[in-house]
Chains A and B, each alone.
Chain A
Amino acid sequence: MALLEVRNLSADIPTRRGTLRAVEDVNFSISSGECLGIVGESGSGKSVTCKTILGLLGPSVERDGEAVFDGTDLLSLTEAELTRIRGRDIAMIVQDAVSALNPVLRVGGQIAEGMIEQGVVGSRSAAMARAVDLMRKVGIPSPEERARDYPHQFSGGMCQRVVIATALACGPRLLIADEPTTALDVTVQDQILALLRQLQRDLDLAVILVTHDMGVVAETCQRVAVMYAGQVVETATPAELFSAPRHPYSAALLDCVPDLDAAQAERLRPIEGLPPDLVDLPTGCRFHPRCPMATAECRSQKIPLIDIGGGRATRCIRHEDMAQPGPVSGTDSTTAEVGTA
């Protein structure tokens, strides 16, 4: 059974120019011990989706749909009820770990704070002891001494480990990680991703990993949802997505990333144009102005997320044409790689 099931989620943000449809008709589910990647470019709605679920966007944002966590619809809860769940059953870590920490508090105290607040430990000293344990678990050397240090005494990678320890403090069942490695160097990113994989396994955690990096998804997630202009346009396993994408946007996005393991024989094919203005969305499919496969139907008709079997779904009415190799722009080179991978 799914731990979190998101159904028809939407979020409208009022702006001076009109209503901004940041998220529309988002559906996905995640089970314990599973890592779901949400991938997309800036403005695709991946962070807004997570914040909408946790009610972090403020009262002016109009939310619709359901986010059922362990039998409870999070969208129907009051702020007080949500406070009991946030940080306890669902924890979140963000991109900028250094600014997520309070610069004038020792890190041990910051890790312990949530446990005391949520009442998951009997005493302050028990919370501190558990904080030191957590620091050890996330790979911080000499945790007893380091617990008394301040955030500025830690490197960026170590700060992210502290933030992860804070997130784990109350024993959450779902961890939402919003671009957790984007600010880090590649060797440190590698270490943090390995840590997240290990924690997910050891603690049977469900993890939602928000990222713009297809490579991060490939190495960490069991399933991936690709977002474009506020909608999920494709869900698949990473292997399926990378070898045979079934939405033209996913295919085009993969074509934009140069291959590190082979010299590029020809020029990359960038996606022409820009993502749509979320205040003034195109009719029909939101990707149609940039899509090489768009037809009259794509321009006029609202496209639903179509279940194409095998746990995969795509928001493209021409997905069957994409399954065939050949004339479809953007898919030939990626399918060719399947044989060699």
Chain B
Amino acid sequence: MTPLIEVRGLTMRYPIQGGFMDGVLPGRRRTLTALDGVDLDIAPGEIFSLVGESGSGKTTLGRALLRLVEPTSGEVRFRGEDVLSMGPARLRAARRDLQMVFQDPWSSLNPRLTVGQILGEVLHVHDIARGAAAKARVRELLDLVGLPPEAADRYPRHFSGGQRQRIGIARALAVDPEIIVADEPVSAVDVSVQAQIMNLLLDLRERLGLTLLMIAHDLSVVRYVSDRVAVMYLGRIVENAPAAEIFANPRHPYTRGLMAAAPRTRPNARRDSAAIIGEPPSPLSPPPGCAFNPRCGFADNGCRERPPPLEDLGGTHQVRCFKHASVGDPALASS
């Protein structure tokens, strides 16, 4: 199947604002590499999750796909068309197909507008519907996300966190998009509400054939909804595989460590003691070689000298690790 989104070599560097002389004196200008040569494909109808710790670049990647930030280099193709070279008019039209749901349902809705106005605004901006037609579409959207029609006349403050997240999803759906980038859609809501929102996303995919790129850090949530998972570390994808495969057979030490670190509700469920030591290094001064080597139990001199390439293990399972054979070795997996 042709991918809906193709990303090749996507790189994002931010210049760091230091002291006022930094721009003048040579050699003092520093850059932060948020994304470093990211490649990925998202198939139509797929729920693709990006996981990683804070600072791994997952949010930047999501935003770069929609050009909410301008990448430094690389390619993003949407249905074969280069998103990064689109002019303003073409980009605006393309955004009818590319929408975003934000993490914080408290700050992502305008408190001075009613829900009807928030949704109506999108319909107006994209010239989709006005007047009575817009009102009807707002009711339809509310129904789609499980809110009553009366919600249209109320303000965001009248709703709970979970309901606000539904409003955010309705706003993204207003333009009938092909793909939604959802940045931590359930991390700001309570556990009981999390399940409601995840089920809503699964329903929407079924009913509307939506494609979803979900940014998340909670692995149990990721396992529940995803078809494919990519793990990011310090701006790079270190492992990318179908969800069932990556949870059953993680081949990057970082993926394994993340899974081991997640707390389990079933007593004695934890089998893997591959605890990760230390904290992620600063993206301003990444270590030489593999960025994960200072925290890795498998690292040797080779890992400290050069960065490993993203290797194909077959069956669309890719991993960026010299040691992937030992990591996947069942004899070592319980060590």
Asked if A and B bind, the verdict is yes
- Listed in ascending order, the chain A residues whose CB lies under 8 Å from chain B are 41-42, 155, 157-158, 185-191, 193-194, 212-216, 218-219, 238-239, 242-243, 252-261, 263-264, 267-271, 274, 337, 341
Nearest chain A CB to B266 CB, angstrom units: 5
Beta-carbon nearest neighbor of A183 in chain B: B54
Interchain CB contact (< 8 A) of B53 among A41, A186, A252: A186
Residues 41 to 73 of chain B near chain A (Cβ within 8 Å): 53-54
Nearest chain A CB to B280 CB, angstrom units: 8
Interchain CB contact (< 8 A) of A219 among B258, B264, B275, B279: B264
Write out the residue numbers on chain B whose beta carbons fall within 8 Å of the beta carbon of A261.
Answer: 264, 266, 269
Beta-carbon nearest neighbor of A337 in chain B: B266
B263 A270 Cβ-Cβ under 8 A: no
| Residue in B192, B196, B260, B269 whose Cβ sees the most chain A Cβ within 10 Å | B192
B269 A341 Cβ-Cβ under 8 A: yes
Residue B113 lies at the interface, judged by CB distance under 8 Å to chain A:
no
Interchain CB contact (< 8 A) of B224 among A238, A239, A268, A274: A268
B199 A267 Cβ-Cβ under 8 A: yes
Interchain CB contact (< 8 A) of B265 among A155, A193, A242, A271: A242
Interchain CB contact (< 8 A) of B191 among A190, A191, A212, A243: A212
B261 A268 Cβ-Cβ under 8 A: no
B202 A186 Cβ-Cβ under 8 A: no
B224 A215 Cβ-Cβ under 8 A: no
B279 A214 Cβ-Cβ under 8 A: no
What 4 new A-B contacts, CB under 8 Å, besides A187-B279, A238-B267, A254-B265? A155-B279, A187-B261, A270-B196, A271-B195
Residue B185 lies at the interface, judged by CB distance under 8 Å to chain A:
no
Write out the residue numbers on chain A whose beta carbons fall within 8 Å of the beta carbon of B223.
Answer: 258-260, 263-264
Nearest chain A CB to B246 CB, angstrom units: 12
Interchain CB contact (< 8 A) of B279 among A158, A212, A218, A255: A158
Give A42 to B105 CA distance when docked, in angstroms.
Answer: 15
Residue B194 lies at the interface, judged by CB distance under 8 Å to chain A:
yes
Between-chain CB contacts (< 8 Å), 27 pairs: A42-B190, A155-B279, A158-B279, A185-B54, A187-B275, A187-B276, A189-B261, A190-B275, A190-B276, A212-B190, A213-B263, A214-B265, A215-B262, A218-B265, A242-B265, A242-B266, A256-B192, A256-B195, A257-B265, A258-B223, A258-B224, A259-B220, A259-B223, A264-B223, A268-B224, A270-B192, A341-B267
A260 B267 Cβ-Cβ under 8 A: no
Q: Given the known A-B contacts A218-B267, A257-B191, are A267 and B219 also in contact in the complex, defined by CB atoms under 8 Å?
A: no
Nearest chain A CB to B228 CB, angstrom units: 14
Beta-carbon nearest neighbor of A219 in chain B: B263
B190 A252 Cβ-Cβ under 8 A: no
A216 B160 Cβ-Cβ under 8 A: no
A268 B195 Cβ-Cβ under 8 A: yes
Write out the residue numbers on chain B whose beta carbons fall within 8 Å of the beta carbon of A216.
Answer: 263
A215 B263 Cβ-Cβ under 8 A: yes
Beta-carbon nearest neighbor of A193 in chain B: B263
Residue B334 lies at the interface, judged by CB distance under 8 Å to chain A:
no
B263 A268 Cβ-Cβ under 8 A: no
- Chain B interface SS verdict (over half): helix
Beta-carbon nearest neighbor of A238 in chain B: B267
B53 A341 Cβ-Cβ under 8 A: no
Residues 223 to 274 of chain B near chain A (Cβ within 8 Å): 223-224, 244, 247, 257-270
Nearest chain A CB to B128 CB, angstrom units: 31
Interchain CB contact (< 8 A) of A267 among B202, B217, B265, B270: B202
A341 B266 Cβ-Cβ under 8 A: yes
Write out the residue numbers on chain A whose beta carbons fall within 8 Å of the beta carbon of B217.
Answer: 185-186
Nearest chain B CB to A189 CB, angstrom units: 7
B279 A252 Cβ-Cβ under 8 A: no
Write out the residue numbers on chain A whose beta carbons fall within 8 Å of the beta carbon of B259.
Answer: 260
Give A327 to B270 CA distance when docked, in angstroms.
Answer: 30
Nearest chain A CB to B74 CB, angstrom units: 26
Give A186 to B280 CA distance when docked, in angstroms.
Answer: 12
Give A170 to B266 CA distance when docked, in angstroms.
Answer: 36
Beta-carbon nearest neighbor of B219 in chain A: A260
A187 B192 Cβ-Cβ under 8 A: no
Beta-carbon nearest neighbor of B160 in chain A: A274
Residue B221 lies at the interface, judged by CB distance under 8 Å to chain A:
yes
Interchain CB contact (< 8 A) of A268 among B198, B262, B276: B198
Give A203 to B195 CA distance when docked, in angstroms.
Answer: 39
Beta-carbon nearest neighbor of B243 in chain A: A263
Nearest chain B CB to A112 CB, angstrom units: 25
A253 B221 Cβ-Cβ under 8 A: no
Nearest chain A CB to B237 CB, angstrom units: 18
Residues 146 to 186 of chain B near chain A (Cβ within 8 Å): 160-162
Residue B4 lies at the interface, judged by CB distance under 8 Å to chain A:
no
Nearest chain A CB to B56 CB, angstrom units: 9
Residue B40 lies at the interface, judged by CB distance under 8 Å to chain A:
no
Give A214 to B263 CA distance when docked, in angstroms.
Answer: 8
B264 A264 Cβ-Cβ under 8 A: no
Beta-carbon nearest neighbor of A274 in chain B: B160
Write out the residue numbers on chain B whose beta carbons fall within 8 Å of the beta carbon of A219.
Answer: 263-264, 270
Write out the residue numbers on chain B whose beta carbons fall within 8 Å of the beta carbon of A264.
Answer: 223-224
Write out the residue numbers on chain B whose beta carbons fall within 8 Å of the beta carbon of A255.
Answer: 195
B198 A253 Cβ-Cβ under 8 A: no
Interchain CB contact (< 8 A) of A185 among B53, B192, B196: B53
Residue B122 lies at the interface, judged by CB distance under 8 Å to chain A:
no
A260 B195 Cβ-Cβ under 8 A: no
A253 B191 Cβ-Cβ under 8 A: yes
Give A83 to B202 CA distance when docked, in angstroms.
Answer: 52
Write out the residue numbers on chain B whose beta carbons fall within 8 Å of the beta carbon of A191.
Answer: 275, 277
Write out the residue numbers on chain B whose beta carbons fall within 8 Å of the beta carbon of A258.
Answer: 195, 198, 220-221, 223-224
Nearest chain B CB to A63 CB, angstrom units: 26
Nearest chain A CB to B145 CB, angstrom units: 14
Beta-carbon nearest neighbor of B199 in chain A: A267
Give A8 to B138 CA distance when docked, in angstroms.
Answer: 48
Residue B193 lies at the interface, judged by CB distance under 8 Å to chain A:
yes
Q: Given the known A-B contacts A242-B267, A257-B265, A258-B224, are A157 and B195 also in contact in the complex, defined by CB atoms under 8 Å?
A: no
A341 B191 Cβ-Cβ under 8 A: no
Give A261 to B266 CA distance when docked, in angstroms.
Answer: 9
Residues 278 to 313 of chain B near chain A (Cβ within 8 Å): 279-280
